[in-house]
Structure 1
């Protein structure tokens, strides 16, 4: 559920996490999920099929997206799109003026124009079955435009636990990779994007 606190803005749950005020109702769980799935698909995977135009950096006209969503969901209001974006704890999307885009997770071919990450090391969680292959061949995107890396060991483990019960965490020497000309883009405080990570920059983090 998404609600709005008059002091702290949109939030998810029953009360504002900062002041515990119940706030104003905006979206229930069912409608939040419907809109969230459509926004994710439109901004990451099938903009043309959704009926919107995406530029080379992943930006879509916000009003155009709203119009498409209103045609699909008659109850939808523009506020709902802002509420989805601003209450999202994972920072999946960003709005800049009249434009909106997904920060990460694309399968369409985009060239995200983020600044270079300055983390000396970043991390990637894998299953035990994958590790030897990754150490030999490197990390390449599968069904996505970019490899998604984490800025901390803990975040990498958290992501990997979704797919495996016993994640192995690989450390990437990001500083050396950048020196050698690889681009590592900072999408959020926790996510770094790369087109590939060759094996020479990978090391297993021992427990």
Structure 2
């Protein structure tokens, strides 16, 4: 079972902007923005709005998954009356997993969608990518390949270390599968570079092996 994310309080340093925790790296305690409790609530509804159920909140995404940030604020404020644009921007700018893009008046989730969006990222240019999983799942993946589960894309890590970190959320004994991304690309499998992760559709077993 996936561990529940614990979000620290969010504050704002006058020199370095928003940060999570009680003290900025420069030593400043900053200005209080959000408690950890409210940050967790806000993080969950932002994720839902941009990845899973925008229509239920009356939010419209364009074909590439972008939403107007004012529209996002109104949609969230209808559920949490205390939520303001400052709170949303603080959440986006301090997300430790790089899950969101904030481009002026627009915002979108980089990955993790269960709704269909056309993510217009460049194709990845890596020799190897990695996928962390449990011992129980590894043999099955090597047999049938990697396939999206509850999401539109398979999420691939750019390093073994990142793959281990992701797998450890679900298992105490991670197994790392390497993907021959170069060969997959040469054979027409499209893998997108979404920044923190790479995204793909199904990847057949011939491109996979245990590290």
**Residue from 133, 143, 153 that aligns with 2:140:** 133
Residue aligning to 1:196: 202
How far off is 1:137 after superposition?
Answer: 1.1
Q: What is the TM-score of this pair, normalised by structure 2?
A: 0.93
1:17-28 alignment to 2 at 5 Å? 17=25, 19-28=26-35
Say whether residues 1:94 and 2:104 are aligned partners. no
**Residue from 68, 79, 98 that aligns with 1:72:** 79
Q: Write the deviation string for residues 78-112 of structure 1: whole angstroms up to 9, x where unpaired.
A: 11111000111111111123211111111111121
Residue aligning to 1:108: 115
How far off is 1:201 after superposition?
Answer: 0.6
- Aligned residue-pair number: 203
Q: What is the TM-score of this pair, normalised by structure 1?
A: 0.95
RMSD across aligned positions (CA)? 1.0
Distance in 1, matches of 2:153 and 2:73, equals 27
Structure 1 gap ranges (5+): none
Say whether residues 1:33 and 2:40 are aligned partners. yes
Q: Secondary structure at the match of 1:130?
A: helix
- Runs (4+) of structure 1 moved beyond 3 Å? none
Structure 2 gap ranges (5+): 1-8
How far off is 1:199 after superposition?
Answer: 0.8
Contact 2:57–2:76, Cα closer than 8 Å, also in 1: no
Distance in 2, matches of 1:78 and 1:129, equals 43
Distance in 1, matches of 2:102 and 2:88, equals 10
